[in-house]
Amino acid sequence: MSTPAVSAGPLRRVPVQGRSVARVQRMLDACAELIDEVGYDGLSTTLLAERAGVAIGSVYQFFPDKRAIVQALTLRNVEAYLERLAERIPAGELAHWWDGVDGAIEEYIELHRSVPGFRTLHFGDVVDVHLIDPERDNNAVIADHLADLLIRFHNAPDSADLRFALTVSVEAADALIKLAFRRHPDGDAAVLAESKRLVRGYLQAFALT
């Protein structure tokens, strides 16, 4: 899968030329590596510039501070996740719409395993639970996108109850997946399986009420 384009959200200016785009991507890659190594509190623009191999002025040319860099990285991760869902859920052969949530959980687990910085940063919660959207929690944004896909492609009921149920499911799965990766670098298999079982049982019960 190709690297998602840089979102304009936290940028001082959007890179247009190829070299500028590549430079910003290097900064985001460096940010991801450093988040895993030193955490958000240990991250600094100086460290990031050194790791990315750019002048400190180049960092400030595009980002006002380290929070903006982390926000840009978060948005890149969100875009990557939503791309994965958009490819998987419409193409999936689902017996029931709630089976699509299994796919969403699997893709979330894969991000933890394969994307540098993700298991530390997640969707930006370490910085701000409203990092993606100032009006909604980060997980609520993800739940809404998941609801839209399930409604559009798999005949899930378009209702406030569904969106609430998916919000609860995303929060529950998120908490258990974080636990799984605290217990084991690749995610504790028993906890990951339980996260799926719990969410599936809840959504099946929701669909019957």
Encoding tokens for residue 164?
């609430």
Average pLDDT, the chain: 86
Distance CA 174, CA 168 (A): 10
Confidence of residue 99 (pLDDT cuts 50, 70, 90): confident
Confidence of residue 14 (pLDDT cuts 50, 70, 90): low
Q: Model pTM?
A: 0.83
Assess whether pLDDT exceeds 80 at residue 70. yes
Across-strand partners of 146?
none
What's the gap between Cα 19 and its chain centre? 26
Confidence of residue 54 (pLDDT cuts 50, 70, 90): very high
Q: Which of 24-38, 103-117, 120-134, 174-188 has the lowest mean pLDDT?
A: 120-134
Assess whether pLDDT exceeds 50 at residue 114. yes
CB count in 10 Å sphere of residue 182 = 12
Nearest to 69 by CA among 10, 17, 15: 10
Distance CA 200, CA 206 (A): 10
C-alpha angle 101-152-109 in degrees, rounded to nearest 5: 25
Mean pLDDT of 106-126: 89
Nearest to 9 by CA among 111, 95, 98, 132: 132
Q: Which of 10-14, 35-39, 188-192 has the lowest mean pLDDT?
A: 10-14
Assess whether pLDDT exceeds 50 at residue 5. no
Residue position matching structure tokens 């492609």: 153
Encoding tokens for residue 90?
């419409």
Mean pLDDT of 117-128: 83
